Structure 1
Protein backbone atom coordinates (compact mmCIF):
# COMPACT_ATOMS: atom_id res chain seq x y z
CA UNK A 1 0.00 0.00 0.00
CA UNK A 2 2.78 2.42 0.87
CA UNK A 3 4.71 1.66 -2.31
CA UNK A 4 1.58 2.13 -4.43
CA UNK A 5 0.85 5.41 -2.68
CA UNK A 6 4.34 6.73 -3.39
CA UNK A 7 4.26 5.45 -6.99
CA UNK A 8 0.93 7.10 -7.80
CA UNK A 9 1.68 10.43 -6.12
CA UNK A 10 5.41 10.79 -5.32
CA UNK A 11 5.17 13.63 -2.81
CA UNK A 12 7.41 13.87 0.24
CA UNK A 13 4.71 12.74 2.74
CA UNK A 14 3.81 9.74 0.58
CA UNK A 15 7.46 8.73 0.31
CA UNK A 16 7.75 9.01 4.10
CA UNK A 17 4.76 6.67 4.50
CA UNK A 18 6.34 4.23 2.05
CA UNK A 19 9.70 4.28 3.84
CA UNK A 20 8.06 3.74 7.23
CA UNK A 21 6.09 0.77 5.96
CA UNK A 22 9.18 -0.71 4.31
CA UNK A 23 11.11 -0.42 7.58
CA UNK A 24 8.36 -2.22 9.47
CA UNK A 25 8.12 -4.92 6.77
CA UNK A 26 11.89 -5.43 6.87
CA UNK A 27 11.68 -5.87 10.63
CA UNK A 28 8.82 -8.35 10.30
CA UNK A 29 10.73 -10.36 7.69
CA UNK A 30 14.10 -10.55 9.42
CA UNK A 31 13.27 -10.63 13.15
CA UNK A 32 12.76 -14.13 14.49
CA UNK A 33 9.35 -14.76 16.01
CA UNK A 34 7.18 -17.57 17.26
CA UNK A 35 6.70 -20.64 15.04
CA UNK A 36 3.49 -20.60 13.00
CA UNK A 37 2.13 -23.93 14.24
CA UNK A 38 1.80 -22.90 17.90
CA UNK A 39 -1.45 -22.15 19.65
CA UNK A 40 -1.89 -18.72 21.22
CA UNK A 41 -1.63 -20.20 24.72
CA UNK A 42 1.77 -21.69 23.88
CA UNK A 43 3.02 -18.40 22.41
CA UNK A 44 1.91 -16.60 25.57
CA UNK A 45 3.71 -19.18 27.73
CA UNK A 46 6.91 -18.78 25.67
CA UNK A 47 6.72 -15.00 26.04
CA UNK A 48 6.16 -15.34 29.77
CA UNK A 49 9.25 -17.57 30.08
CA UNK A 50 11.28 -14.99 28.14
CA UNK A 51 11.86 -17.07 25.03
CA UNK A 52 10.43 -14.47 22.62
CA UNK A 53 12.55 -11.46 23.47
CA UNK A 54 12.80 -8.62 20.98
CA UNK A 55 16.12 -6.82 20.56
CA UNK A 56 16.52 -3.10 21.14
CA UNK A 57 17.49 -2.64 17.49
CA UNK A 58 14.25 -4.25 16.37
CA UNK A 59 12.23 -2.02 18.67
CA UNK A 60 14.02 1.09 17.40
CA UNK A 61 13.44 0.11 13.75
CA UNK A 62 9.71 -0.33 14.39
CA UNK A 63 9.58 2.97 16.27
CA UNK A 64 11.33 4.76 13.40
CA UNK A 65 8.89 3.19 10.93
CA UNK A 66 5.89 4.30 12.97
CA UNK A 67 7.26 7.82 13.28
CA UNK A 68 7.76 8.00 9.51
CA UNK A 69 4.22 6.76 8.83
CA UNK A 70 2.69 9.22 11.30
CA UNK A 71 4.78 12.09 9.91
CA UNK A 72 3.74 11.19 6.37
CA UNK A 73 0.06 11.00 7.25
CA UNK A 74 0.32 14.32 9.10
CA UNK A 75 2.05 15.85 6.07
CA UNK A 76 -0.75 14.60 3.80
CA UNK A 77 -3.41 16.02 6.11
CA UNK A 78 -1.70 19.40 6.30
CA UNK A 79 -1.26 19.48 2.49
CA UNK A 80 -4.97 18.76 1.97
CA UNK A 81 -4.28 15.44 0.22
Structure 2
Protein backbone atom coordinates (compact mmCIF):
# COMPACT_ATOMS: atom_id res chain seq x y z
CA UNK A 1 0.00 0.00 0.00
CA UNK A 2 1.28 3.42 -0.83
CA UNK A 3 1.03 6.51 1.38
CA UNK A 4 -2.03 7.79 -0.49
CA UNK A 5 -3.98 4.58 0.18
CA UNK A 6 -3.01 4.60 3.86
CA UNK A 7 -4.13 8.20 4.31
CA UNK A 8 -7.41 7.69 2.46
CA UNK A 9 -8.34 4.58 4.44
CA UNK A 10 -7.21 6.04 7.83
CA UNK A 11 -5.93 2.69 9.07
CA UNK A 12 -3.89 4.50 11.74
CA UNK A 13 -7.12 4.72 13.75
CA UNK A 14 -7.77 0.96 13.52
CA UNK A 15 -6.81 -1.29 16.44
CA UNK A 16 -6.86 -5.03 15.86
CA UNK A 17 -6.06 -8.48 17.21
CA UNK A 18 -5.59 -11.68 15.23
CA UNK A 19 -6.74 -15.12 16.32
CA UNK A 20 -6.26 -17.96 13.87
CA UNK A 21 -7.53 -21.53 13.83
CA UNK A 22 -6.29 -24.19 11.45
CA UNK A 23 -4.94 -27.72 11.17
CA UNK A 24 -1.20 -28.27 11.54
CA UNK A 25 -1.49 -30.97 8.88
CA UNK A 26 -1.48 -28.15 6.31
CA UNK A 27 2.27 -27.95 6.86
CA UNK A 28 4.34 -25.27 8.55
CA UNK A 29 4.19 -22.87 5.60
CA UNK A 30 0.39 -23.04 5.37
CA UNK A 31 -0.52 -23.34 9.07
CA UNK A 32 -2.79 -20.36 9.82
CA UNK A 33 -1.53 -18.69 6.66
CA UNK A 34 -4.54 -16.40 6.29
CA UNK A 35 -4.14 -15.14 9.87
CA UNK A 36 -0.47 -14.39 9.33
CA UNK A 37 -1.26 -12.64 6.04
CA UNK A 38 -3.94 -10.45 7.66
CA UNK A 39 -1.51 -9.52 10.44
CA UNK A 40 1.18 -8.51 7.97
CA UNK A 41 -1.22 -6.49 5.82
CA UNK A 42 -2.78 -4.65 8.75
CA UNK A 43 0.67 -3.62 9.98
CA UNK A 44 1.67 -2.44 6.50
CA UNK A 45 -1.47 -0.29 6.37
CA UNK A 46 -0.54 1.33 9.68
CA UNK A 47 -3.07 -0.28 12.03
CA UNK A 48 -2.19 -0.82 15.69
CA UNK A 49 -1.95 -4.39 17.00
CA UNK A 50 -3.41 -4.46 20.53
CA UNK A 51 -2.35 -7.95 21.61
CA UNK A 52 -0.13 -10.83 20.53
CA UNK A 53 -1.31 -13.10 17.74
CA UNK A 54 -2.95 -16.32 18.91
CA UNK A 55 -2.69 -19.24 16.48
CA UNK A 56 -4.46 -22.47 17.38
CA UNK A 57 -4.01 -25.94 15.93
CA UNK A 58 -7.51 -27.35 15.48
CA UNK A 59 -6.09 -30.87 15.41
CA UNK A 60 -5.11 -30.58 19.07
CA UNK A 61 -7.79 -31.54 21.61
CA UNK A 62 -9.54 -28.50 23.06
CA UNK A 63 -8.39 -26.03 20.39
CA UNK A 64 -11.64 -25.18 18.67
CA UNK A 65 -13.13 -21.75 17.90
CA UNK A 66 -16.27 -22.24 19.99
CA UNK A 67 -14.29 -22.98 23.14
CA UNK A 68 -12.01 -20.01 22.53
CA UNK A 69 -14.93 -17.60 22.12
CA UNK A 70 -16.62 -18.92 25.25
CA UNK A 71 -13.48 -18.48 27.34
CA UNK A 72 -12.09 -15.24 25.93
CA UNK A 73 -13.40 -12.41 28.05
CA UNK A 74 -11.69 -9.84 25.81
CA UNK A 75 -14.51 -10.32 23.32
CA UNK A 76 -16.95 -8.93 25.89
CA UNK A 77 -15.18 -5.60 26.30
CA UNK A 78 -16.17 -2.48 24.44
CA UNK A 79 -13.66 -0.70 22.21
CA UNK A 80 -13.01 1.96 24.86
CA UNK A 81 -12.33 -0.67 27.52
CA UNK A 82 -9.90 -2.46 25.23
CA UNK A 83 -8.15 0.82 24.45
CA UNK A 84 -7.77 1.59 28.14
CA UNK A 85 -6.35 -1.85 28.91
CA UNK A 86 -3.91 -2.00 26.00
CA UNK A 87 -2.79 1.60 25.43
CA UNK A 88 0.85 0.79 26.12
CA UNK A 89 1.15 -2.19 23.76
CA UNK A 90 2.68 -1.83 20.35
TM-score by length of structure 1 reads 0.34
TM-score by length of structure 2 reads 0.32
Greater percentage in strand: 2
